[in-house]
Amino acid sequence: MNVAIIGGGAAGMTAASRVKALRPDWNVMVFEKTNFVSHAPCGIPFYVSGIVEYFEELCTYDTSFFKSERGIDVHTNSKVFEVGEGYLLVEEEGKERRYEWDKLLFATGSRAKRLNVKYEELDGVLCVNDISNAEKVKKLALKSEDIVIVGSGYIGVEMAEAVTRLGKKVTVVEIAERPLPEYDAEIAAIIKSEMEKFVNLRLGERVVAFEGKDRVEKVVTNRGEYKCDLAIVAVGVHPNTEIAKNFVKLGKSEAIKTNSKMETSKENVYAAGDCAESLNVVTGKQDWIPLATPANKMGYVAGVNIAGYELHYPGSLKSQITSFYDVEIGKVGLSEHEAIREGYEVISSFITTKSTARYFIDGLIHLKVVAERSGRVLGIQAVGKGVAMRIYAASALLYRGANVRDLFFTDFPYYPPVSRVWDPLVVAARNLFRKLGIP
Within residues 263-302, the interface with a copy of itself by CB under 8 A covers 281, 291-294, 296-297
Within residues 390-419, the interface with a copy of itself by CB under 8 A covers 390-397, 399-402, 406, 408-419
Q: Kindly tell me which of 91 and 372 has the beta carbon lying closer to a copy of itself.
A: 372
Residue tagged active-site, from 42, 127, 228, 275: 42
Looking at 43-51, 183-191, 211-219, 234-242, which segment touches a copy of itself (CB under 8 A)? 43-51
Over the window 52 to 71, marking each residue x when it contacts a copy of itself by CB under 8 A and - when it does not, the resulting string is: x----xx-x-----------
Within residues 298-317, the interface with a copy of itself by CB under 8 A covers 304, 307, 309-311, 313-317
Can 42 be counted among the known catalytic residues? yes
Instruction: Enumerate the β-bridge partners of residue 329.
Output: 322, 383
Contact 123, 229 (CB under 8 A): no
Nearest distance from C-beta of residue 213 to a copy of itself, angstroms: 37
Within residues 6-35, the interface with a copy of itself by CB under 8 A covers 10, 22
Looking at 112-120, 211-219, 241-249, 384-392, which segment touches a copy of itself (CB under 8 A)? 384-392
How much is the CA Rg of the chain, to the nearest whole Å?
23
Measured distance CA(397)–CA(353) in Å, rounded: 21
Over the window 321 to 360, marking each residue x when it contacts a copy of itself by CB under 8 A and - when it does not, the resulting string is: xxx------x-x------------------------xxxx
Would you give the distance in Å from CA 438 to the centre of its chain?
Answer: 37
List, in sequence order, the alpha helices (H) in 151-205: 154-165, 185-196
List, in sequence order, the alpha helices (H) in 351-403: 387-399
Residue 72's Cβ-side half-sphere holds a number of Cα atoms within 13 Å equal to 33
Query: Site size for a copy of itself, by CB under 8 A?
Result: 72
Nearest distance from C-beta of residue 418 to a copy of itself, angstroms: 5
Measured distance CA(310)–CA(301) in Å, rounded: 8
Measured distance CA(178)–CA(164) in Å, rounded: 20
Helix (H) or strand (E) holding 218: strand 218-221
Contact 131, 45 (CB under 8 A): no
Q: Kindly tell me which of 124 and 330 has the beta carbon lying closer to a copy of itself.
A: 330
Catalytic residue positions? Answer: 42
